[in-house]
Amino acid sequence: MELLNTQLCKEMIKIHQYMVACASSISQYGALAGLKYSLEDAEMMKLEFKKRRDYVYERLAKMGIDVNLPKGAFYLFPSIKKFNMSSEEFCYKFLKEEKVGVVPGSAFSNSGEGYMRISYASSMENLKLAMDKLESFIRNLVK
């Protein structure tokens, strides 16, 4: 039985390696088509995401939130330290009161405590609504 398990494991490792270590031929052809025919679409989305990022960044800055401008992600990681609550407590309270989901920085390590992660990979309409709700939420916190 042990010999069978050893041989079976070897065969399973081969399958696993080919499934996760190599892109399938169909996905390689898809990527090639994307590079050949869709670079204009990619550039258009890049510009759109830049607008969304800049919008959320500027709104946070106007609210007095310390935040760095990301250069290559779909997220901002603003500081919420000045509100004197854990990132989990802040995010839960924001979700409960305003129905907007953000991720506590503590989910990313102890170093993330005091921050929240906001995704800007949503529509501009949703981002405007979320930023309006965040502004209202923060205004109520500091009363």
Give 18-34 pLDDT, tens digit per residue: 777 777 889 899 999 98
The distance from CA 118 to its chain's CA centroid, rounded to whole angstroms, is 7
CA distances from 56 to 2, 9, 40 (A): 58, 50, 25
∠ Cα 98 102 104 (to 5°): 120
Top pLDDT among 26 and 142 is at 26
pLDDT at 4 over 80: no
Q: Which fold has domain 39-141?
A: Aspartate Aminotransferase, domain 1 (3.90.1150)
Query: How far from chain centre, in Å, is Cα 75?
Result: 5
| Domain ranges for the chain | 1-37, 39-141
pLDDT in tens, 96-122: 999 999 999 999 999 999 999 999 999
Supply φ then ψ for residue 132, to 5 degrees: -60, -45
Give 50-81 pLDDT, tens digit per residue.
999 999 999 999 999 999 999 988 999 999 99
